[in-house]
Amino acid sequence: MKTDNQITNNSKTFSVPINEIRIDGNTQYRMVIDQPTVYNYRDAIKQDDELPLIDVVYDGKDYWLTDGFHRYHAFKLLGIREIQVNCIDGCLRDAQIEALKANCQHGKPLTNDDKRNKVQIALKIDGFAGKSDRELAKICNVSAPLVSSIRDPKVKARQKENIKKHFAKNVSSPEGCNLITPTEAIQSSGAAPDDDEIKASELAMQAYLEEIEMIMESDDKLSTANERIKKLTHLNAQLTISMHGLMNDKNFCIKQIKQLQREIDRFKKMERMNLVKP
């Protein structure tokens, strides 16, 4: 069984033709390349902003990209033929292991799907399947429970069930009131919910639990929660503006209806007066 890579900090910096850098060695763990990030890097390069050098591993024949895929694609987009790199010597397996450490201190943070993909690929690296959950989590910079859930789907199912139970029983307001579902909220209003309302409330609860699950799976739960709060606050502000616009439209329609009703009443009155004339 092979041990982990024995690469030391003997990196060298020099220029490499970009077409000699390979990106097809399972060293990219993102599910997709984020195009807005690529465009942001492109603009930064055009403005001569200083960016971190991309990292590669040289195996004596090929340069394997391990960190800096968005920057790499930005250079390609600009048609730049040669770029500066940080290079260390090693094999493809070394490059795959080095790539596991990427995007931890800089760059676009990995999503939960990216992290799951990273662990799944790491488990296929020779010698990694025998590592403990904690060892693999440390190498991949993810949480040990995430590694456990990927190795055993039953663990994943238990984690989801525990999250549901926790938030169904223990989440309460500052006054100590138990959390109620959207369906219960509709029922408590005194009106019997119809099928569409029940379905909508169930979808809302499902979305809520998925949000909680995403936060619980995150390595930095506080930052993830704060990010979600910012996005939801922004969405709430947009919905509030839309609601006010709809209320204004409703009030305008009510005024129009009342005006039309007055016109109708006036014509009816005129019609009755014409009917009673001798």
**Nearest-CA neighbor of 29 among 126, 108, 89?**
108
106/23 same-domain check? yes
> How large a percentage of the chain has pLDDT more than 90?
37
Structure confidence by residue, pLDDT tens digits, 40-87? 999 999 999 999 999 999 999 999 999 999 999 999 999 999 999 999
> What mean pLDDT comes out for the span 106-115?
81
190/250 same-domain check? no
Q: How confident is the model at residue 145 (pLDDT cuts 50, 70, 90)?
A: confident
187/201 same-domain check? yes
26/100 same-domain check? yes
Question: Residue 1 corresponds to which amino acid?
Answer: M
Determine the Cα–Cα distance for residues 195 and 176; give it in Å rounded to an integer: 31
Q: Cα 226–238–225 angle (5° rounding)? A: 10
**Residue 78: per-residue pLDDT:** 95
Residue 116 lies in a domain: no
Residue 23 lies in a domain: yes
**Residue 88: per-residue pLDDT:** 95
Q: What is the pTM of this model?
A: 0.57
**Residue 224: per-residue pLDDT:** 72
213/227 same-domain check? no
Domain with 181 in it: 156-219
**Residue 216: per-residue pLDDT:** 67
**Residue 1: per-residue pLDDT:** 44
What is the domain count for the chain?
Answer: 3
23/104 same-domain check? yes
Q: How confident is the model at residue 268 (pLDDT cuts 50, 70, 90)?
A: confident
